[in-house]
């Protein structure tokens, strides 16, 4: 195997012999074997990465379709592609729907994106935050996020589609796919009627890959009795690969854009890149085939879920494994070994395949079989650093954000804007298995 030393192979063989000689401590043997196997695989991957870098190119292409392929999954962050497509959407849209994942709204939100929308057309654009996948979070978490996000922009909860098979969901009573999509549709129609334009209102839909943008459009299309999905949807990032227009009626048309990851860090260190990719993996913003190493994402997931004893217990219940143990501070390897054994993800000689086990965990997380969410921050008031600006750097914050949101809510005829319970149903929920 290229990139693997003879000493490494001998070390793995020695470990297998030790495994046979010491049956009294099988976990230690599994840890050692899995660790050596992972080291060999990492060496092989590093060698391949070095070759890829040698053949990398910075050439620009005028082919827009090629440039839009798999946005947000490229290693350079696709900043040029982001600028091109994002500006197209904002320039053409009267209203921008910014779709966020209810499990981690701040993780799928960019304040710079919001500032750019607000700066367009001298502040003439409208921005609505769409909190999607609400069935994956409990009612108190949903309500707190609605209250928090409505400090800045009108925010609507949405169930754009049904859950994946075996997903653990919450039943929010009247917040169904039909009712939430109807609320959004009526809001857009109210805005269109208020503007009294002779042309159709354009609504741009933006957000991270796989956050549910196409599902939002399909849910709105279904309000008119449209048969079949207008936009392709899928569990992987990069399903939508080009800007497309969907006409709802004579007064309303939607613009579906490819999912775009907005760079969150300028740091180029190896550690920061690994951490950033782990974050994006948990946001489902990277297609499985483009994940270099799923293990760091599992480490980040364990770290987040460990903050809640209840969520950690639910994670272990998914795989039917005992409480986690640590090995020199490492809980990920013992956890993945147990997952590999339960799911049959074993390599030659019965050695747990940590990469395969990690991929299985990420898939379960993506499809909602593993419960987990981020809690909304507790803020007394919105700070100036949180408030979007009318123009570029150095601009003064906009007028009182609450006044702006209240004014916009009137245009869309939104009720219960500040989480006072009017027009909203975020009552005590029950689990759906």
Give 302-349 pLDDT, tens digit per residue. 999 999 999 999 999 999 999 988 888 899 999 999 999 999 999 999
407 and 354 within one domain: no
Say yes or no to pLDDT of 241 above 80.
Answer: no
pTM: 0.73
Q: With respect to residue 131, please indicate whether it lies within any of the assigned structural domains.
A: yes
271 and 307 within one domain: yes
Closest CA to 154 of 381, 417, 413: 417
Identify the three-state secondary structure at position 122: helix
Closest CA to 170 of 301, 314, 298, 283: 314
Identify the three-state secondary structure at position 143: helix
Q: What is the structure's pLDDT at 287?
A: 80
For the chain, the C-alpha Rg in angstroms (whole number) is: 24
> 5 CB contacts (<8 Å, ≥6 apart)?
43
Local structure of residue 134 (DSSP, 8 states): G
Do 73 and 209 form a contact (C-beta atoms < 8 A)? yes
Q: Are strands 430-432 and 169-171 parallel, antiparallel or unpaired?
A: antiparallel
Say yes or no to pLDDT of 275 above 80.
Answer: yes
236 and 287 within one domain: no
Looking up tokens 């196409």, which residue turns up? 214
Residue 405: pLDDT band with limits 50, 70, 90: confident
CATH number at residue 116: 3.40.50.300
Q: With respect to residue 99, please indicate whether it lies within any of the assigned structural domains.
A: yes
Q: What is the structure's pLDDT at 79?
A: 61
**Share of residues in the chain with pLDDT > 90 (%):** 34
The burial of 326, by beta-carbon neighbours within 10 Å (0-12 exposed, 13-18 middle, 19 or more buried), is given as exposed
- For the chain, give the mean pLDDT: 75
Do 169 and 205 form a contact (C-beta atoms < 8 A)? no
271 and 257 within one domain: no
331 and 273 within one domain: yes
Backbone angles phi and psi of 195, in degrees to 5:
-75, -25
279 and 257 within one domain: no
Q: With respect to residue 393, please indicate whether it lies within any of the assigned structural domains.
A: yes
Q: With respect to residue 59, please indicate whether it lies within any of the assigned structural domains.
A: no
Backbone angles phi and psi of 279, in degrees to 5:
-65, -45
Q: With respect to residue 54, please indicate whether it lies within any of the assigned structural domains.
A: no
134 and 30 within one domain: no
Hey, what long-range contacts does 121-127 have (CB within 8 A, 24 or more apart)?
122/390, 123/390, 123/398, 125/90, 125/93, 125/94, 125/95, 125/96, 126/94, 126/95, 126/96, 126/191, 126/408, 126/411, 126/412, 127/95, 127/96, 127/98, 127/153, 127/154
190 and 136 within one domain: yes
What span, in angstroms and rounded, lies between the C-alpha atoms of 78 and 250?
35
Give 20-51 pLDDT, tens digit per residue. 444 445 555 555 555 555 555 554 444 444 43
| DSSP output for 311-368 | HHHHHHHHHT-PPP--BTTB-HHHHHHHHHHHHT-B-GGG-B-HHHHHHHHHHHHHTT
More confident residue, 214 or 269: 214
Q: Are strands 155-157 and 126-132 parallel, antiparallel or unpaired?
A: parallel
| Tokens, residue 392 | 């570029």
227 and 141 within one domain: yes
| Tokens, residue 85 | 């497509």
Residue 64: pLDDT band with limits 50, 70, 90: very low
Q: With respect to residue 349, please indicate whether it lies within any of the assigned structural domains.
A: yes
Question: Among residues 322, 337, 366, which one ends one of the domains?
Answer: 366
| Tokens, residue 248 | 């709802």
What span, in angstroms and rounded, lies between the C-alpha atoms of 118 and 95?
11
Positive or negative torsion for Cα 375, 380, 385, 388: positive
Q: What is the structure's pLDDT at 81?
A: 67
Give 109-153 pLDDT, tens digit per residue. 988 889 889 888 777 899 999 999 999 999 999 999 999 999 899
> 39 CB contacts (<8 Å, ≥6 apart)?
8
Say yes or no to pLDDT of 2 above 50.
Answer: no
What span, in angstroms and rounded, lies between the C-alpha atoms of 92 and 365?
35
Q: What is the structure's pLDDT at 129?
A: 95
Q: What is the structure's pLDDT at 35?
A: 59
Q: With respect to residue 49, please indicate whether it lies within any of the assigned structural domains.
A: no
411 and 339 within one domain: no
**Share of residues in the chain with pLDDT > 70 (%):** 65
Do 400 and 387 form a contact (C-beta atoms < 8 A)? no
Q: What is the structure's pLDDT at 331?
A: 94
Q: How many domains does the chain have?
A: 2
Q: What is the structure's pLDDT at 225?
A: 55
> 149 CB contacts (<8 Å, ≥6 apart)?
100, 105, 129, 131, 155
Q: With respect to residue 279, please indicate whether it lies within any of the assigned structural domains.
A: yes
234 and 92 within one domain: yes
Q: What is the structure's pLDDT at 342?
A: 94
Q: What is the structure's pLDDT at 30?
A: 53
Do 352 and 341 form a contact (C-beta atoms < 8 A)? yes
Residue 53: pLDDT band with limits 50, 70, 90: very low
Containing structural domain, residue 397:
78-262+379-424
154 and 303 within one domain: no
Question: Among residues 325, 343, 366, which one ends one of the domains?
Answer: 366
| DSSP output for 55-100 | T--------HHHHTTTTT-STTTTHHHHHHHHHHHHHH-SEEEEEE
Do 97 and 160 form a contact (C-beta atoms < 8 A)? no
């Amino acid at each position: 195997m290229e990139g693997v030393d003879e000493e490494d192979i001998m070390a793995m063989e020695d470990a297998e012999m030790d495994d046979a000689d010491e049956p009294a401590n099988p976990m230690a043997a599994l840890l050692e074997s899995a660790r050596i196997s992972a080291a060999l695989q990492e060496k092989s991957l590093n060698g391949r990465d070095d070759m890829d870098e040698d053949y990398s190119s910075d050439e620009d292409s005028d082919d827009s379709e090629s440039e839009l392929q798999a946005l947000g999954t490229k290693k350079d962050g696709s900043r040029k592609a982001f600028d091109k497509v994002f500006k197209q959407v904002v320039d053409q849209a009267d209203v921008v729907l910014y779709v966020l994942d209810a499990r981690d709204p701040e993780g799928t939100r960019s304040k710079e994106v919001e500032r750019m929308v607000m700066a367009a057309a001298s502040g003439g654009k409208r921005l609505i935050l769409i909190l999607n996948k609400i069935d994956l979070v409990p009612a108190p978490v949903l309500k707190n996020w609605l209250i928090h996000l409505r400090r800045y922009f009108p925010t609507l909860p949405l169930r754009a589609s049904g859950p994946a098979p075996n997903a653990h969901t919450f039943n929010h009573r009247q917040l169904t796919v039909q009712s939430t999509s109807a609320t959004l549709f009526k809001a857009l129609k109210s805005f269109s009627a208020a503007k009294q334009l002779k042309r159709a209102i354009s609504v741009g839909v933006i957000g991270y890959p796989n956050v549910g943008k196409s599902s939002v459009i399909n849910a709105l299309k279904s309000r008119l009795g449209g048969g079949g999905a207008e936009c392709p949807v899928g569990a992987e990032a990069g399903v939508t690969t080009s800007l497309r227009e969907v006409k709802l009626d004579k007064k309303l048309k939607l613009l579906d854009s490819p999912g775009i990851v907005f760079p969150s860090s300028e740091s180029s260190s190896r550690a920061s890149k690994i951490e950033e990719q782990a974050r994006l993996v948990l946001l489902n913003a990277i297609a499985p085939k483009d994940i270099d190493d799923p293990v760091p994402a599992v480490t980040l997931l364990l770290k987040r879920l460990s903050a809640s004893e209840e969520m950690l217990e639910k994670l272990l219940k998914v795989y039917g494994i005992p409480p986690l143990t640590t090995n020199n501070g490492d809980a990920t390897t013992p956890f993945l070994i147990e997952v590999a054994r339960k799911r049959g993800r074993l390599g030659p000689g019965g050695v747990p395949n940590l990469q395969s086990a990690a991929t299985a965990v990420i898939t379960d997380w993506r499809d909602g079989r593993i419960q987990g969410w981020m809690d909304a921050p507790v803020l007394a008031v919105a700070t100036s650093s949180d408030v979007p600006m009318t123009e570029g750097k150095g601009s003064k914050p906009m007028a009182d954000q609450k006044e702006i949101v209240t004014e916009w809510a009137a245009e869309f005829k939104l009720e219960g804007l500040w989480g006072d319970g009017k027009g909203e149903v975020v009552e005590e929920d029950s689990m759906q298995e």
